[in-house]
Structure 1
Amino acid sequence: MQVRDKVVEIIAEQALMEPGDVRMDMTLADLGIDSLGLVESIFAIEEAFDISVPFNANDPADSEFDISSVRTMVAAVEKLVREQTDA
């Protein structure tokens, strides 16, 4: 399974949606994911890919992990996975 597909699957589960209904340009607000759902999504992403996401739940705007859309989250996870495999 590709990184994109797994991230979308995790986000869809939090949003109580089918993965096919999640568009890459959707925001967390579009998906109805609140801060608790976001944290749960990040934990699930970390577990699924065995990575550590640099996310500051107290100040998401100051995080290195871009949560502005599904697309940016996928890109951030892909980068973290790439960095881990390169290390």
Structure 2
Amino acid sequence: MADEIRQRVIEIIAEQALVDVSDVSMDQSPADLGIDSMGLVESIFALEESFDIQIPFNANDPQAGDFDISTVASIIGAVEGLVAAQRS
């Protein structure tokens, strides 16, 4: 399941950044990929819809939430945690 989550998160991020999936690396930030604040919000909505989860995110202050958006890897980890919590 973790591989499926990882792949889908990368696909969503790549789609929002208008880049190929192969161009997304785990240590990149959304900004590194050219995703602005509006694109980040759209990515959050896409993640919520794709995984049927609620992401605690404050678009006005991304650092204020419990959802780490600093890198692709941290986004994947946060989504995995929310999916696991939902299933338990």
- Could you say which TM-score interval applies, normalised by the shorter chain? over 0.9
Structure 1: gaps of 5 or more residues? none
* 1:3 counterpart SS class: helix
Matches within 5 A, 1:43-54: 43-54=45-56
Counterpart in the other structure of 2:82: 80
Counterpart in the other structure of 1:67: 69
* 1:42 counterpart SS class: helix
How many residue pairs are counted as aligned between the two chains?
Answer: 86
Residue 28 of structure 1 deviates from its aligned partner by 1.1
Write the distance in 1 (CA, Å) between the matches of 2:67 and 2:77: 10
Structure 2: gaps of 5 or more residues? none
Write the distance in 1 (CA, Å) between the matches of 2:75 and 2:83: 12
* 2:77 counterpart SS class: helix
Counterpart in the other structure of 2:18: 16
Q: TM-score scaled by structure 2? A: 0.95
Partner amino acid, structure 2, of 1:45: L
1:7 to 9, 33, 43: 9
Residue 68 of structure 1 deviates from its aligned partner by 0.3
2:37 to 23, 35, 38: 35
Q: TM-score scaled by structure 1? A: 0.96
State the identity %. 60
Residue 66 of structure 1 deviates from its aligned partner by 0.3
